[in-house]
Chain A
Amino acid sequence: MSTPDAAPGGVARVRRQVGLALPPVALGVAFVAAWQAWVTVRDIQPFVIPAPSKIWQSFTSDFGLVRAASVVTGTNALIGLLIGSLLGFAVAVVTNRFALVSEVVNPLAVTVAAIPAVVIVGVLNNMYALDSQVARRIMTTIAVFFVVFVQVSKGLRQNNPTHLELMRSYAASPRQVLTKVRLPNALSYFFTGVRTAAPLALIISLVSEYFGGPQNGLGTKIASTLSGSNKALGFAYVLGGSIVGLLFYLGSSLLEYVAVPWQRRRESR
């Protein structure tokens, strides 16, 4: 079935998206090339700044190490992202039922989200065994929670005024307005929140490792190798972290794309 003014044809769209992707990719390539050239020409020693070629060598030869550390940190981030997202959604729905509570909680949430709360992990660490990842997962959960909570709260309150007037003209009950208008609207905000929180989850998990606990994640590996002489391996860990972060972002973007297809239209207009 054809739609009259559907999106432009597939070829044109692919061409446009390649066109959009080209400048950042070119910039990245140019940056790596310049780095390589600088290190070679100036003869910079590898224990100061390793060349990209050396980093890549280290990444491939020690891939097992990088992968193991990435899995540890990635798992912490994923668990925190899942629990934090669900919790953020649930608490936002509950507090928004009570106007007063949400008026108190919302500014608080925005404030808390802005302070470097990652130090909490130091306190949490004292509460769990030395080989436990729980403190980091809790920290990540907290960070994700606030991002998603703020987004969902917004989605529950910022409705299309026409939708609300229509519901009033149908003599709909507050409960019906919630289930037919506010919740579906909040859903698209929820997935936007998850997409925003996904890379954050990884960074928080990684940074949390600096405050004690097991030494097998990306954060601790990066810290220990970068302070030693094998800088190439250190940067290989950084590369591993970048790849996991990218996967998180792509995964959550895909989820948003599939779960709330109307959202991508809104943003592309």
Chain B
Amino acid sequence: MTKKPASPPADDAVVVRDLLKVFNRGKPNQVDALVDVQLTVRRGEFVSLIGPSGCGKSTLLRLIADLIQPTQGSVIVNGKPAHQARLDQDYGMAFQQSGLFEWRTVARNIELPLELKGWDKTRRRARSREMLELVKLPDFAGHMPWQLSGGMQQRVAIARALAAHPPLLLMDEPFGALDEMTREHMQAELLRICSETGTTVVFVTHSIPEAVYLADRVVVMSPRPGRITRIVEVGMGRDRTELTREATDFFDRVTDVREALRGAELGAQARGIEDR
């Protein structure tokens, strides 16, 4: 008697199957946020989610994080149901707003998830110091968040998200509020941090170059109803530098993603759906 394996293979960080998410079901303002979403993120992989607003990319991220529940379908994170993964703090999260707690020092912000896990103070201090080294802010442990620039605040937010050494990092447009120079710098830093820690990343953005520069695969989504229309393999390896941004491969992939996005939009129009 052969049984299907109860859990997916251990080298998958996220497995989303037959996902449906409907808001306000049965009401006049019903929204089909996500329809028939299938997505597998391998361990150690960097996946960008891109699409116009309303395509459900943030919703998908929140479903993976178990911040909201699917209407139908399953979300497996780190080999267990998303709910259990959240309880076990199997992922860290960062948002467009750094969301630092104004009344806590930088170090104590980073230590918050550890505090909630019941770590003692010595252990927390050691870990926050390690994380500040990782994000290259070793001298700022005692600073208050408002004494830091926007880019530095995002570094602290990333340090906090990774403080418990989760295998998975979920990011919702974390660099969306930064200026272009800082943004490119932060992208390079994020890649360095992920390769040092071996963290899997699911990264929501609506910048095409950002999605391509960071990711192994770019998941292109389209709205009404929100769904995945194409997955673009970037295939440029992991050693990406500032030169990567000027490489022919890079421009080719940017073009691929752009065309996929345009195709999705045309498709939506062809179905007679107002798209603006």
Contact = CB atoms under 8 A, between A and B. Distances in A.
A191 to B, nearest CB: 12
Nearest to B88: A171
Interface in B57-98: 65, 67, 86-87, 89, 91-93, 95, 97
Interface in A203-241: none
A166 B92 CA distance: 9
Interface string B91-116: 11101010101110000000011011
Nearest to A163: B99
A166 B158 CA distance: 12
A166 B115 CA distance: 14
B144 A5 contact: no
B97 A162 contact: yes
A265 interface: yes
A6 B147 contact: yes
Interface string A167-184: 011111000100011001
Nearest to A4: B149
A177 to B, nearest CB: 10
A3 B67 contact: no
Contacts, number: 63
A5 B151 CA distance: 11
Contacts of B112: 170, 180
A43 interface: no
Nearest to B91: A169
Contacts of A171: 86-87, 89, 116
Interface of B: 65, 67, 86-87, 89, 91-93, 95, 97, 99, 101-103, 112-113, 115-116, 139-140, 143-149, 152
Given A4-B149, A160-B97, 9 more contacts: A1-B139, A160-B99, A165-B95, A165-B99, A166-B95, A170-B112, A170-B116, A180-B115, A188-B103
Interface of A: 1, 3-6, 160, 162-163, 165-166, 168-172, 176, 180-181, 184, 187-188, 260-262, 265-266
25 contacts: A1-B140, A3-B143, A4-B148, A4-B152, A163-B101, A165-B99, A166-B93, A166-B95, A169-B65, A169-B89, A169-B91, A170-B89, A170-B113, A171-B86, A172-B116, A180-B115, A180-B116, A181-B101, A187-B103, A188-B103, A260-B103, A261-B144, A262-B146, A265-B102, A266-B102
